[in-house]
Structure 1
Amino acid sequence: MNTSGHAAEDVRDAADGLRLAPFRGLRYVPERVGSLSAVMSPPYDVVVRPDGLLHLESADPHNIVRLILPQAITAGTRHRKAAVTLDRWLADGVLAPDREPALYVYEQEGDGILQRGIIGALELSTPDEGVVLPHEDVMPHVVEDRAALMRTTAANLEPLLLTYVGDTGNDADQVIDRAVLGEPLLSTTTEDGFHHRLWAVTDPAEQAAAAGELRRHQALIADGHHRWATYLRLREEHTAPGPWNYGLVLLIDTARYPLRVRAIHRLLNRLPVADALAALGDSFRVRRIERPLPTALEALESASAEGNAFLLAGDGAFHLVDRPDPDLLSRTIRADRPEAWRTLDATVLHSTLLDHVWHIPDAPEDIAYIHDTEAAVAQAERRGGTAVLMHPVREEVVRDLARQGVTMPRKSTSFGPKPATGLVLRSLALD
């Protein structure tokens, strides 16, 4: 098996691996919207800034953000609003189901990346089955919100991003290669410069070839832990076999199309930088780094190669925090986890700094998770808080911990590029 530099992947028995099924996708009708790019959105958890939400809402009255992040005063009203909006768009012909069940080949290209994968309805499995491997903890309030939205709309509005490691020239890759020779269902370029194309694989023989290959593999959740937890919760509510036993996913063979792994930064809304630095005392080494941001990030990368390191921002400067006191780490980090988990930056941040040194409550009003580095710094400066900038974890570390059944602290990694939301939806009423 060719792992191409990735951690070795377990090959599953045919009955035990990923079970991907075709479905009748819901897609935008191009004639009913201004443009396909105007109705698309990043995943819901990337659209964190109000200005980003307003930008998407104003791009087109039918932008998908009105379904994935509906705006209203109460949660129940938001979810009902999304369901009403979805029903209206279906009735008006803004969205329409494809005539035949399909697996969808999805291509993203931009920023030096070419990524292709297969979108389908994946049969759900529990962590004990070892088929789909989560690697991060989830926040209960987010799972509850996503479950209420999915329950009310009876739809999977955006796919999870899952990765597996395939052999060279495997059947699934060949299905992808043949599909992209044909005319795509859609082709569009989003404002981030990424070009998106989608093909439907409707031939039962091609569907069987791809599905047969995937049944040999397990997958790592690269993006979408909360939505996966939501799928499992809703399956428990629907005990009879049916559409709730499946969830919408995008599967990428990272032996062929390696993903980029980026960090997710923390914004401590109520902790000024001065207070954060004062609380550190002598337990970490602290060095002030003058702007610009790229210079500070280079210093963070160098320090991370030698051990745990963080970059604090929010007071108009950058502060490199590294070389934690070993005695402090031994007192604050649980000993019943693998060494790879104990030495993660995210583990040290949450167990040592947030819980022990800074005493930051684990609540949304105290901690925000932000993917964009510049946005994290800008928000910290605007709010008088502290941005904790992180260095990314290597994919092989993530995969190895997941195989051991060990979850990382929430929002430890950001794999990408993430699939655009709005290309294809899955209605549970149609399956």
Structure 2
Amino acid sequence: MDTGDGALELAPLRGLRYAGADASALIDSPAFNLALALSPPYDLVDAASYARMTTDEPHNAARLTAPPAVSAPDYTGAARTLHRWIEEGVLVRDPSPAVYAYEQTTPEGLRQRGLIGLLRLPPPGGRAVRPHESIAEEPVLDRARLMAATRANLEPIFLLYRGGHGAERGAASRAADAPAEQGDEPLVHTVTGDGVTHRLWALTDAGLHARIAHDLAGRTALIADGHHRYAAYRRLQARQHGPGPWDLGLALLVDSDASPPRLGPIHRVVPGIGARAAADAARAHARVRALPEDGGTDRTVRLLAQAARQGPALALADHSGRFLIDRVDPGAMRAAAPDRSEAWRAMPTAALERLFLPLWGVRPRAAELVHDDAAEAVRRAGARTGPAAAVLLPPLRVADVYEVTGRGELTPRKSTSFGPKPRTGLVLRSLESLPERTDEAR
């Protein structure tokens, strides 16, 4: 139960959602398609994808969440769009407070189930919710400006917790499974362009809410995705005087025991140095092997995965060749990161951040990030006008992230790409026209 660090709590809300199963009856567009209205998280939306999504469906949720550099209007424009969509009936507020069961199934058959609700922010220093990576100030301010302008949480952060196995599974984990296993009719059943099937149910029973609250009170959660949004929640809460709606933030909570997430890598495109020159410099602290060109990026990724079983490893690629770096000198890592644990120093992103990027004279934030797609990282390196190398990284294990964060450490920046990520637009939370009964929900 609550140890003084604040209990983990996921409270119900009256979610704001696209009207009906397909919303076409209330939107002046008979061609409205909910699947096309849903968006990836804001930090995965670039200018090209924004233009495509908002052309395919003018009511795409990215119109509310994309940064101004991508979407052109400032957040006053996002607020006007949100309020107009509510006034026009594009978005409607559910009649009863609910915790939402959310199921995602990927084309490969990975199924993830969780609960969407309002996370009560623990007190400062509390351990009920813990991050796993560091944050930058600018994205926090950006998300806080958006939330303040719209008075809304427009996309949930993504939390993991350990819910137990078999008969030991708690009420929250079982609640996430129950609607699908009972064959209940979902509020939403749609397939987005990435092939992921999304189903959503509203759990409105107050007794179930109480059982979920009792189960979660003794647990802790890890932020899988949404560190900057969580910090923005904190920033907005700190501006308030006394309790209120900013004490809560929209969240998806997933039991990683019942629904192990997919954990992908975040590759880098490093400017200013080619793959061969970077590989030659790395020989001072690691084994470096040239890789054959046949088999392409897929073979490079397979060889990298094999090497990573023995310790930190990474691969380099550009037009000059492909190289595998492994057997990193432990002494060099201890010297480069004396303030960190052995578990932290064993992470491939730790070797990249503390050892190799300084060796190559590259600042960490100068590297372009590419989520999951190694071939795309190689392509982008090749498209640069000057020297650039694709740095391919193996994925971490969820157990590694739990171990490091359990020690009170943070993984190196952008070490993980947890998935599948919640789709933006399925459930939004507006602070206007409360009540959400935020005080009674305690």
- TM (norm. structure 1) is 0.90
After superposition, where does 1:23-422 map in structure 2 within 5 Å? 23-29=13-19, 30-31=23-24, 32=27, 34-47=32-45, 49-71=46-68, 77-110=73-106, 111-126=108-123, 128-167=125-164, 168=166, 169-180=169-180, 181=182, 182-289=184-291, 290=293, 291-315=295-319, 317-333=321-337, 335-354=338-357, 356-363=358-365, 366-371=366-371, 372-383=373-384, 384=386, 385-422=388-425
Deviates more, 1:179-188 or 1:217-226: 179-188
State how far apart, in whole Å, the 2-side matches of 1:400 and 1:127 are.
22
Change in 2 beyond 3 A, CA 1:201/1:380: same
State how far apart, in whole Å, the 1-side matches of 2:335 and 2:220 are.
36
Q: Which amino acid aligns with 2:197?
A: H
State how far apart, in whole Å, the 1-side matches of 2:8 and 2:311 are.
36
Match of 2:426 among 411, 416, 423: 423
State how far apart, in whole Å, the 2-side matches of 1:15 and 1:271 are.
47
State how far apart, in whole Å, the 1-side matches of 2:431 and 2:225 are.
22
CA RMSD, 1 decimal: 2.2
Asked if the contact 1:123/1:245 (under 8 Å) is kept, the reply is yes
- Structure-2 residue corresponding to 1:7: none
Residue deviations 1:127-149 (CA, integer Å, cap 9, x gap): 62110111101122211211111
Asked if the contact 1:13/1:215 (under 8 Å) is kept, the reply is no
State how far apart, in whole Å, the 2-side matches of 1:270 and 1:225 are.
29
Deviates more, 1:277-286 or 1:291-300: 277-286
Asked if the contact 1:70/1:81 (under 8 Å) is kept, the reply is no
Change in 2 beyond 3 A, CA 1:133/1:227: same
Q: Give the secondary-structure state (helix, strand or coil) at the position aligned to 2:74.
A: helix
- Structure-1 residue corresponding to 2:8: 18
Deviates more, 1:65-74 or 1:406-415: 65-74
TM-superposed CA distance for 1:327, in Å, is 4.2
Change in 2 beyond 3 A, CA 1:252/1:42: same
Residue deviations 1:54-96 (CA, integer Å, cap 9, x gap): 2222220111111111445899x52222112212211221111
Asked if the contact 1:260/1:415 (under 8 Å) is kept, the reply is yes
Q: Which amino acid aligns with 1:301?
A: A
Question: Structure 1 unaligned runs (5+)?
Answer: 1-10
Change in 2 beyond 3 A, CA 1:80/1:259: same
- TM (norm. structure 2) is 0.88
- Length, aligned pairs only: 415
TM-superposed CA distance for 1:350, in Å, is 0.6
- Structure-2 residue corresponding to 1:8: none
Question: Structure 2 unaligned runs (5+)?
Answer: 437-442
State how far apart, in whole Å, the 1-side matches of 2:301 and 2:249 are.
37
- Structure-2 residue corresponding to 1:3: none
TM-superposed CA distance for 1:285, in Å, is 2.5
Asked if the contact 1:105/1:200 (under 8 Å) is kept, the reply is yes
Asked if the contact 2:265/2:393 (under 8 Å) is kept, the reply is yes
Identity rate, percent: 42
Change in 2 beyond 3 A, CA 1:112/1:72: closer
Asked if the contact 1:14/1:215 (under 8 Å) is kept, the reply is no
TM-superposed CA distance for 1:237, in Å, is 1.2
TM-superposed CA distance for 1:25, in Å, is 0.7
Residue deviations 1:189-213 (CA, integer Å, cap 9, x gap): 1111111111111121122122221
Asked if the contact 2:276/2:323 (under 8 Å) is kept, the reply is no
State how far apart, in whole Å, the 1-side matches of 2:10 and 2:70 are.
38
State how far apart, in whole Å, the 1-side matches of 2:70 and 2:259 are.
42
TM-superposed CA distance for 1:99, in Å, is 1.5
Q: Give the secondary-structure state (helix, strand or coil) at the position aligned to 2:42.
A: coil
TM-superposed CA distance for 1:220, in Å, is 0.9
